[in-house]
Structure 1
Amino acid sequence: MSTGERPRRRTRATTGARTAGRTILVALLVSLAARPAAAHQFSSRFDAPIPLELLYGGAAAAVAATALLLAAVNETPTLRRRLVAVPRGVARAAAASARAAFFLAFVGVLVAGLAGPRAAAENFATLFTWSIWLKGVGLVAVVAGSPWRTLSPWRTLYDALCRLEGREIRLRSYPSGLGHWPALAWFVVLVGVAENLTQVPQLPAATAVVVAVYALVTLGGALLFGREWFERGDVFEALYDLLGRTAPLSATPRDGEWAIELRAPWRDCSAPLSTRTLTAFVVAMVYTVTFDGFAESPLYQSLYFGVREAFDVGPSVSVVLYEAGLFGFLLAYLLVVVAVDRLTRIARDRSGAEAGASRAGADAKADGGDGSDAASPPASAALAFGGTLLPIAAGYEVAHNYGFVATYLGRLPTLAGFDAADPLWWLSIPAFWISQVLFIVAGHVVAVVAADAVVRRNLTARPSGDGDERSSSAHWTPSGDAARRRAPPKRWALLAHAPLVALMVGYTALSLWVVSLPVAG
């Protein structure tokens, strides 16, 4: 054991204690406002659950696709094709228009929520905030990458203040140990609890107050820590950036124009995440979008009222149920990460991928180590595999929410006195069911490809990094030419991949089961 390892362990223990304390604090705060409620307050013809035969067919397709991919793919396929080029001036004008329009919508939410009609169906604040803003922008991110850095009203306000000041405003540096904790806490409070478990989405004034408070806190954080606060403290920026990793379309500035390209959706999902809290954020995304659908079902209502009666507790038990499920998802992910980490080490040993072990050991000693880092820390594995779950979250996000967003878009004209529209008038209910299954299974397939890329990369690598909360390099890195020359046999890749595949099949099957549940009236 190296001399510097013991203090590092104390640091990790301290970080774990702080993490537990913050989680308890968030739980206590959000429990005070919890009430049972369905987030999707307006019904539509798409609320009918998918038939069981489609559920079983989708689960079978997920398993079959996984088996075929793992058996047939020798290396991760890549795809990058240019579709169209947009002049940079046109792109800038479009971005400026979009930013101005969204800022006006933000102001409209505040005004309408506080001074508009009290009925949720007649108020712009409730119609826009929880569907077109929260869910709709997420769908755009899944398709074409996150637009939030352009749309963000808090960035608009901050940039205006910086122009007035003549420089970037920042009173101090962002704490390195804080990671993405602010964004994760806000995700649990706003998306996990406020949207799914309270009456806030049905109350225009409450919606406006929530948006105003969040805007003030986020702007204050930016004035204190600078633009880095948006990246790590803004829940919308973190959420949409993560969903944008799965986008099959991308826009890249090149030679005075923006190139719109088609790319492999697993490309960015196989890259390591930057902090452990961002990994927890990804797991929370997968869990919360599933819980969102489950919370609308009669089964959840029966569970909720059953627990209340059994323990004689109040409505805040809904938060306990939400957090218990979140803890279960996090625990399952951590157990799988540990299993994959150990199997990867076994596979490297058995396959001879570490043929240059003596050279790697010499390199490690030259770097000040003692060669004992052959066992990668679980934190490194968690960062490496965290992004591979994003396609599952994105697939279910689209399957669960695109009909909901379209319904709310169709209701916006009623605010101006026009009739409601149905943007999906052409889509039959059976076709909608099939599309839900296809989106979920497609997300699973992309996730398997991304995970396979990570496993293959790690089988010919050695771990590095110190597990620091802020470090983006705490993941496996190449161990030398000898390791790269000897690719491990496919059977060892399958072995190392097995626990993660099992987890992904479980998540996918659970998502399919949730969309098969009826919606509570």
Structure 2
Amino acid sequence: MSRFPFVRASLLAPAILLSAAFSAFAHTGESGLVLLLPTGYYLFGGTLAVTLSFCLIFLWPRTSLERLCKASLPLGTLRVPPRGAASFVVFAFLLALIWSGLFGSRDPRGNPLPVTVWSVWWGSFVFVQAVFGDLWHYLNPVIAPYRLIRRLAGREAPYLVYPEWLGFWPAVFAFGCFSWLELVDLAPDDPARLAWIVIFYLAVTLAGMVLFGADAWLRRADPFSIFLRFLAHLSPFEARPVAGAPALRLLYLVPPGARLFRLPALPPSGTLFVLMTLSSVSFDGLSRTFRWLDLAGINPLEFPGRSAVLEFNSLGLIGIWLGLAGAYFGAVRLGKWINPAWSRNPAAGLLIISIIPIALAYHFAHYLTILLMELQYVVQIYGDPLDRGWNPLALPPNFVTASFLNDYRSVRIIWSLQAGAVVAGHLVAVIAAHVLSGRLGGTGWRDPSGQVPLAMLMVLYTLFGLWLLAAPNIG
């Protein structure tokens, strides 16, 4: 089999995908937001950027990219807080939130627990983690009670060894339940119910840490610690330990995402976990579109509520995860066929690392508008945590409704930021896949050609993500 047909095919495939993308433009003109340019131009431009980047990176010497990823600029010395003390403060705050959920206002807009869990933590902190590094290592609220339990028990070593066969499956199951609660459940904002869910999560996590050890459980079974640790590798800041000074770190500026290449190949369960983090946020956008509701037989202009699509969305949440998993493993398998040298290495578990930037990009695109609105409620709720009518900041009654989100120009900027994030995430992913493929073996032209199927999948997913942003939806 000649190696050059693969090269020609790899260069022509993106062009074929671009031509196919034009057929999707006809489905994007019904958006409720009328942009200055036709929506199709945005889809075409974003898809073209990812496609051209693949063509350029395909021919770029991998060694130069690897040298760039190792570059760093020293910024100075950083003093880190004691891990136990920082965790204790967050744990105490969490206990106050749980108390508020159980005994405070029944109105989610008047209770600090729902808005803290969904907006401050899951919506906002994810971005903070990706920008500034692994802050969750210090702020994780389970560390302080775990150390207390371990001290009271008088035992340092775990009781059991974490089974290798268990892999990331507990995290896959837990993240699936969390996604279902957020996206499908009828009352994810109910304060008392959410408080009991948080209590249950704390109990299970502490039990797992005591039985199997904190490091083993948090790195393999706890979905939030795993996801946030992955995102920390995207940070442009790296804190390196100082010999003989545990409280000090040398802070460096590094290329964003450069530390991804230090991650080891993931087992199949870890690969499915990463795909779930992407598919869940993608489904959230899809489930709001008119086309999805039409498939469910529901008039989107008269949306009756989540109860009408409970079963349909439950199946859809699982279906998009399985569909994305099938597409990803199929692309990797095709890449192995093109480059047989990959067959001797865990290609799927290694290349999945390149999907992490895409997961962050979709998270940003999805939560940006939610956060801009919800974080305004945070100011109000934290100013009146007991729902007593307090207003220490003297906010006007229409503080939220008078926000800049109601300005048309701001909406255009927000949409452009969302679309830019989706494109940027895929661009970083293409570069990451190119560098990571160097660890899979193979030489000459046939080596990079194995990336073509995965790059094609990324281009199509870019088009899908941009369509989600532009498609008419119920908001």
Unaligned runs of 5+ in 1: 1-46, 308-312, 349-373, 461-487
- Paired amino acid for 1:340: G
- Paired amino acid for 1:330: A
Whether the 8 Å CA contact 2:57–2:434 is kept in 1: the answer is no
How far is 1:74 from its partner?
4.3
- Paired amino acid for 1:274: L
- Does 2:384 match 1:402? no
Q: Secondary structure of the equivalent of 1:246? A: coil
How far is 1:399 from its partner?
2.3
- Paired amino acid for 1:146: D
Q: Which residue of 2 aligns with 1:343?
A: 338
Map residues 38-437 of structure 1 onto 2, 5 A cutoff: 51-75=39-63, 76=65, 77-88=68-79, 91-92=80-81, 98-168=86-156, 170-191=158-179, 193-227=180-214, 228-255=216-243, 256=245, 257-270=248-261, 271-305=263-297, 315-345=310-340, 375-376=343-344, 380-415=346-381, 416=383, 417=391, 418=393, 419=395, 420=399, 428-437=410-419
Question: Aligned equivalents of 1:100 and 1:296: distance in 2?
Answer: 39
Question: Aligned equivalents of 2:320 and 2:109: distance in 1?
Answer: 31
1:68-123 CA-to-partner distances (Å, cap 9, x unmatched) read 222344432324323422343xx226x66643442233113211111111111111
Question: Aligned equivalents of 1:49 and 1:340: distance in 2?
Answer: 40
Q: Secondary structure of the equivalent of 2:339? A: helix
Q: Secondary structure of the equivalent of 1:237? A: helix
Whether the 8 Å CA contact 2:161–2:212 is kept in 1: the answer is yes
- Paired amino acid for 1:386: I
Question: Aligned equivalents of 1:239 and 1:165: distance in 2?
Answer: 30
Unaligned runs of 5+ in 2: 1-31, 300-307, 384-390
- Paired amino acid for 2:178: L
Q: State, as a whole percentage, how many aligned pairs show the same letter.
A: 26
Whether the 8 Å CA contact 1:266–1:449 is kept in 2: the answer is no
- Does 2:436 match 1:447? no
1:408 and 1:261, CA in 2 relative to 1: closer, same or farther beyond 3 A?
farther
1:152-173 CA-to-partner distances (Å, cap 9, x unmatched) read 2222210121233343262211
1:395-434 CA-to-partner distances (Å, cap 9, x unmatched) read 2222222342343222112122343576989992222222
Q: Which residue of 1 aligns with 2:387?
A: none
1:201 and 1:146, CA in 2 relative to 1: closer, same or farther beyond 3 A?
farther
Question: Aligned equivalents of 2:352 and 2:125: distance in 1?
Answer: 22
Alpha-carbon RMSD:
2.7
Whether the 8 Å CA contact 1:252–1:258 is kept in 2: the answer is yes
Q: Secondary structure of the equivalent of 2:235? A: coil
- Does 2:450 match 1:496? yes
Question: Aligned equivalents of 1:407 and 1:111: distance in 2?
Answer: 25
1:413 and 1:135, CA in 2 relative to 1: closer, same or farther beyond 3 A?
closer
Whether the 8 Å CA contact 1:269–1:387 is kept in 2: the answer is yes
Q: Secondary structure of the equivalent of 1:119? A: coil
How far is 1:48 from its partner?
5.2
Return the match for 2:441 from 446, 459, 473: 459
Whether the 8 Å CA contact 1:197–1:318 is kept in 2: the answer is yes
- Paired amino acid for 1:158: Y
- Paired amino acid for 2:274: V
Question: Aligned equivalents of 2:188 and 2:134: distance in 1?
Answer: 24
Whether the 8 Å CA contact 2:329–2:348 is kept in 1: the answer is yes
Taking CA–CA contacts closer than 8 Å with sequence separation of 6 or more, which of the two structures ends up with the larger relative contact order?
2
TM-score after normalising by structure 2: 0.79
1:86 and 1:49, CA in 2 relative to 1: closer, same or farther beyond 3 A?
farther
